[in-house]
Amino acid sequence: MSRGKRVHTEGSLRPSGGVAMPVAAMLAAQAVLSMATVTLPILAPAVAAETGLAFSLLGLFVALVYASSMGCGLVSAALVRRWGALRLSQLCLLAACAGVGLLATGHVAGMAAAALLMGLGYGPLNPASSHLLNRVAPPNQRSRIFSLKQTGVPVGALLAGGLLPPLASWNGWRSAVWAVCGACAVLALLLQPLRATFDSDRQPRGRVGLDSLAEPLRVALADRGGRPLALSSFCYAALQLCLGTYLVTFLTTRNGYTLVEAGLALAVTQAAGIAGRLLSGHVADRSGQPRRVMGAMGCLMGVCAIVSAFASAWPTPLLLLLYAVFGASAIGWNGVYLAEVAQRAPAGAVSAATAAALFVTFAGVLAGPPVFALMIESGLDYGTAFSAVAVPALLCGLVLLRSGKSASR
């Protein structure tokens, strides 16, 4: 069945307020959950100073969050059918609330449990929001709407970076933890009045069992034309996480930047990522060729990563421009990707298709930083490591550029 002829039968939704309310609800949920997942990395110096926990545990914490997200996301399709996308989003927020609260224990076991609970919340959110937004999005605005929702990830990280350190300095790091807990709980409560409208398609008697884990796999295997997209998301996510994880260290050790200057460069990549998500969604809708848009972004991020290895002598303004383009492309592709996954999904299977797609994406998140670290430990410099991670993303970008419009399934 071709993309152009596919007909949705899962139940379109046209709320009286248009698409603004569901988009705002899912954007807020995405931002707050993003804030929750970066709470420990941002507060790590204060936490370590009090508890003596090693900074090296941060890598394990992040890995546990995304590993939990991968597993929990697989059952999200069945949960969306039974409870509805909005109720599942509320439960995701409450799981994150509990997880962030466990950080306050200051113990390794509590933080491991916190990571698993945050993944329990983070994994099903995108399948749930894709299901809901696909019901309200006009076809010619799907990429824009999905990309707008995905800006919640860098927005949440920016808010956490701007608000949590001052709060921790003022009243201790646990006060910042409780503030994030409160934000998760309050937003879950604020979403409740929307449930009757947005979960009108739920099936309360829907079955949730072990076979629900296989549903995303069945959907993914049936979509042979979508496999290049999934592979690209793996490579793009790996490079995206390496950029966010190692840019500050790269600039301080290789370019001689101060921590403040390197932090500014990282902030530039995040801000550019927000702009990149909005722009890519707009271009994908206007052109009608989301696959080529994703291809162009893969080529851009790959080239920027490789060029950065040779740009240590560039003036600061020019280097910041390079990292702005790098951030816009490496962070900006996700919304177009999720919109294309939803567009390709069989009727009634948007959440399952999204869960399968994000399983591959999160695998890239898990693989990228450790592989990068192994290259550094083996004696390669940061520039060479960035170039090595960039090559697969660049090749995937070239393949998607050549493929043109999405192939028929």
CB atoms within 10 A of CB 227: 12
Cα 329 from Cα 301, distance rounded (Å): 5
CB atoms within 10 A of CB 105: 15
Vertex 283: Cα angle to 278 and 285 (nearest 5): 100
Q: Which two tokens stand for residue 37?
A: 């997942």
pLDDT in tens, 4-15: 334 343 556 655
Q: Write the single-letter amino acid at 261.
A: E
pLDDT in tens, 167-191: 988 888 999 999 999 999 999 999 9
pLDDT in tens, 284-316: 999 989 999 999 999 999 999 999 888 878 888
Cα 102 from Cα 394, distance rounded (Å): 40
Q: Where are the domains of the chain?
A: 16-197, 214-409
CATH code of the region 214-409: 1.20.1250.20
CB atoms within 10 A of CB 301: 30
DSSP secondary structure of 281-345: HHHHHHHS-HHHHHHHHHHHHHHHHHHHTT-TTS-HHHHHHHHHHHHHHHHHTHHHHHHHHHHHS
Q: Is the pLDDT of residue 105 over 50?
A: yes
Q: How confident is the model at residue 17 (pLDDT cuts 50, 70, 90)?
A: low
Torsion angle of the four alpha carbons 163, 169, 173, 179, in this order, in degrees rounded to the nearest 10:
-40
Phi, psi angle pair for 11, to nearest 5°? 105, 95
pLDDT in tens, 332-387: 999 999 999 988 888 778 888 888 888 999 999 988 888 888 888 888 888 899 99
Round the average pLDDT of the chain to a whole number and report it. Answer: 86
C-alpha closest to that of 272 among 319, 317, 315, 332: 332
Cα 43 from Cα 215, distance rounded (Å): 38
CATH code of the region 16-197: 1.20.1250.20
Cα 243 from Cα 403, distance rounded (Å): 27
pLDDT at 374: 86
pLDDT in tens, 46-73: 888 888 877 667 778 888 999 999 888 8
pLDDT at 63: 85
Does the fold of domain 214-409 match that of domain 16-197? yes
**Mutual orientation of helices 350-377 and 227-254 as an angle, nearest 10°?**
40
pLDDT at 407: 45
